[in-house]
Structure 1
Amino acid sequence: MSRFVEELGDALPPGAVVTDPDVLETYRYDRTEWVTPGTPVAAAFPTTTEQVATAVRIAAAHRVPIVPRGAGSSLCGGSSAIDGCLVLCLERMDRVLEVDAVDQQAVLEPGVLNADVSVATADVGLWYPPDPASKTYCSIGGNVATNAGGLCCVKYGVTRDHVLGLQVVMADGTVIETGRRTIKGVAGLDLTQLLIGSEGTLGIVTKVRVRLTPLPDGASTMVAVFPTLGAAGVAVADLVASGLQLSLLELVDRTTTVAVDDWRNMGLDRDAAAMLLAQSDSPEPLRATEVARAAEICEKAGATYAAATDDPIESEMLLEARRLAIPALERLGDTLLDDVAVPRSRIPHLVARTEQIAAHRDVTIGTFGHAGDGNMHPTIVLPRGDEDAAVRGRAAFDDILVAALDLGGTITGEHGIGVVKQPFLEREVGSGNLAVQRSIKRALDPHDLLNPGKWL
């Protein structure tokens, strides 16, 4: 290992390779609280694709595993270190390289934060729609690695719907380009789509070409509160069936609402069992009609209050309450954050099953998520240091995965498999499918050096 570190340090610029244990301690972890990471031998901080390729080639020659990471915001252990690895951190590759207003595209380095893309493109009237609640601190490279979604995905889709091409360093240090500048194109296999969502196990993304979208000219927001989670679930199913072109449809339960309000004192309804947020960014007068219709549907489903606003400050406050869900719950104790998706018609069933699981396992679960596309984030909150509660919490986490599969859903909508959901992958995709995936991994990374132990 000392020879490896010495060779790496000689090949990369001064300060690009770190072995200080105090610094490495920071880069061992991602945001997954209940994963114990390994200890890396070094961390490298490249600033160019060539430096990434050099680091990969040297690691491959010494058979040193590589754990790539960006902002470290993974919630499934996807960027947690393993013993003896090189942490390849791309946070210094944070430039917006190109904004093309005519073709409505941008080229980004992987360390660019999600929210900064739309800031960089706003002057030309464009934005990048995938907007995770963590958009102010998650990076584009990580978004590509997990095929991240966000609050607006009900209308605009997820990361893979907005990526036109990638630059990727493969396991042997070879640099390839995938995709194209054109909107259409079917020359060869679609390696771009293969790499999106592969969690850094097939290649390391060093540039991303994204599709941009014209900025909406405004938005109207509806909030509705419900006496039961079940009634909110029924409203979600009815809204989906209505055909309204909502740009956002989010659900937040009482546990989460109270946690946010305790933290930020936002004047939220602390007595309601659930809150639904819906938004339309259609041109006027259609958007006013859509949110008014959404309010009617919620009232019919049992909402005790439903109202709409086109005031941007009020709308942003409501959306901020949703974005604060995870950090607000994290303040209450240790958290196990699930990420499951079901057909939208089965949201009421998933919500009911989650309540039953919380009662059966005697744990607190805060439920929130992207109700508009069936992707929910039941979050188990545990007293810190209580091992008995931790055992019950992990059992509840697994119960939620089983419930999602029973309802025809998936064990992960946007956070990935990482290390926490591997036991359930074969159950979802089947042994034959999993064998094909493993053969692809072996073909592209025969020595299993790229993020080993994650996904497969």
Structure 2
Amino acid sequence: MTVTLDDLAPTDRSVAARTAAHSDRSGWSPGTPPDAVVRPGSIAEVQAVLRWATAERVTVVPRGAGTGLTGGASATAGQVVLDLSGLDAIESIDPVTRTAVVQPGVIVADLDRAAAAHGLRYAPDPGSVAIASIGGTIATNAGGLRCARHGGTREAVLGLDVVLADGELLRTGTAGPRSVTGYDLTSLFVGSEGTLGIVVRATVRLQPLPVSTATVAALFPDVATAAAAALTIPAADTLELLDGATLAAVDPVLATDGAAFLLIQLEGPSALAEAAALADRIRPTAVRVDITDDPARSERLIATRRGALPAVQRLGRVLIEDVSVPRTALAETLAGIAAISDSTGVPVFTFAHAGAGVIHPLVLTDDGAVTPRVQETVDAIVALALRLGGTLSGEHGIGVLKRRWLADELDPVARTTLHRIKDALDPAGVLNPGKAI
């Protein structure tokens, strides 16, 4: 008897389901919708689907919450979407080892809340923390506001259960604090965008909630001065920068007092004293500096930063870029982005995880269209970051939309090596083809 996809896991072929699953938050469309959406309810069902896909040579596109920004979860005719949102259990939280075991469909903010009940937290907090899934953030190695001190998702993942293309279940890493046994397979899969295997379980590191947090908010006369001030702050837990255009979109009143905004958070028992010392350091070049250890007021200041993307998106469709440069090149990069915007006439709104050198230029399209001048602007920004020793993606991944620049960053030997790894793990090429590499 012939085994069909419907025999292996719940499968939806409705127009509504296929249309909803053919793109991600980038808005990029690959054309016609996929053939079906499969919603496995167990790891065994994921294994069965991949065995079938490899045998039948049907390509599979893994999907979490669909919040990706580079088309990594986009799917088209002839493909099957593997929707992992139903695998959403927080299987365990261990307050002694400070670890959690979670399935890929768990929303990041939900894990953070569950950890808080044990006096712990999950450090990665991308801007989409309230809607992004753990699996998706592992796929792209997402970062977030706390990446200045705590790093991105890779630093938080201790081990993975991964279903390979042939349906085998691979377990990587350990729940212990450290292991040097064999190659670091865990790190290989983090950021691989579903092209090497399907993450079905993750063991992640948790951290104690800080006993105290102090927040510093500073306005500067221009973005170059703000970037220079950021360089004098090496140890902040959060270090975020908004340029004048972004600040005006978020808070026009605040923007009348300064042309750049720096948000700093310090954690620990001496956070307020450290914040006061830090404020004294940056005050000579700032227009205004505010300090607080009041949680409610801190949340309002954090909201200014978190509101950046939605505030700019209200002005029209934007291309959300995420280049990254060495911190020493931050000021030069921001100045260069402003010059590119002036040259092409395309508005660019920029904010940055300044502590990690990750910069998000939001390039405003022409009434929703990526016209030649819009594309020229994006191309120039990527070229600028690469010229200054950076990378074309700091946390969003490559997906489809950034593959055009891969050869500008990776030499032929590096690209060949990536394809050899892909061929070794997915010889039939069924896992998310045309993405990441």
Range into which the TM-score falls when normalised by the shorter chain: over 0.9
Name the residue aligned to 2:415: 434
Corresponding residue to 1:278 among 255, 261, 264? 264
Name the residue aligned to 2:69: 75
Name the residue aligned to 1:379: 362
CA distance in 1, matches of 2:52, 2:103: 22
1:86-121 per-position Cα deviation (integer Å, ceiling 9, x unaligned): 010111111100111111110000010111111111
1:245-265 per-position Cα deviation (integer Å, ceiling 9, x unaligned): 211000012222222237xxx
SS of corresponding position for 1:106 = strand
The structural deviation recorded for 1:315 is 0.7
Name the residue aligned to 2:394: 413
Name the residue aligned to 1:404: 385
Corresponding residue to 1:11 among 8, 13, 23? 8
Out of 353-362 and 75-84, give the one that drifted further: 75-84
Q: What pairs up with 1:2-401 in 2 under 5 angstroms? A: 7-12=4-9, 16-240=10-234, 245-261=235-251, 268-283=254-269, 286-300=270-284, 302-386=285-369, 390-401=371-382
Contact 2:142–2:152 (8 Å) recurs in 1: yes
Give the letter aligned to residue 52 of structure 1. Answer: V
SS of corresponding position for 2:233 = helix
CA distance in 2, matches of 1:342, 1:35: 29
Contact 1:33–1:334 (8 Å) recurs in 2: no
Out of 69-78 and 267-276, give the one that drifted further: 267-276
The structural deviation recorded for 1:426 is 2.4
Unaligned runs of 5+ in 2: none
Distance 1:294 1:38, change over 3 A: farther
The structural deviation recorded for 1:423 is 2.1
Contact 1:113–1:140 (8 Å) recurs in 2: yes
The structural deviation recorded for 1:50 is 0.7
CA distance in 2, matches of 1:235, 1:123: 36
CA distance in 2, matches of 1:37, 1:304: 50
Distance 1:181 1:435, change over 3 A: same
1:424-453 per-position Cα deviation (integer Å, ceiling 9, x unaligned): 222212111111111000110112111101
RMSD: 1.6
Distance 1:445 1:29, change over 3 A: same
Contact 1:31–1:74 (8 Å) recurs in 2: yes
SS of corresponding position for 1:54 = helix
Tell me how many residue pairs correspond in the alignment.
437
Distance 1:429 1:231, change over 3 A: same
Unaligned runs of 5+ in 1: none
Contact 1:169–1:176 (8 Å) recurs in 2: yes
CA distance in 2, matches of 1:219, 1:309: 9
The structural deviation recorded for 1:338 is 0.8
CA distance in 1, matches of 2:435, 2:43: 23
The structural deviation recorded for 1:386 is 5.0
1:56-109 per-position Cα deviation (integer Å, ceiling 9, x unaligned): 111112111111010111111111113311010111111100111111110000
Contact 1:78–1:419 (8 Å) recurs in 2: yes
Instruction: State, as a whole percentage, how many aligned pairs show the same letter.
Output: 42
Contact 1:95–1:111 (8 Å) recurs in 2: yes
Give the letter aligned to residue 258 of structure 2. Answer: A
CA distance in 2, matches of 1:253, 1:401: 18
The structural deviation recorded for 1:124 is 1.4
Contact 2:222–2:244 (8 Å) recurs in 1: no
1:126-174 per-position Cα deviation (integer Å, ceiling 9, x unaligned): 1111111110000100111111111011111111111110000101111
Distance 1:270 1:81, change over 3 A: farther
Distance 1:34 1:359, change over 3 A: farther
> What TM-score, normalized to structure 1?
0.93
Contact 1:237–1:346 (8 Å) recurs in 2: no
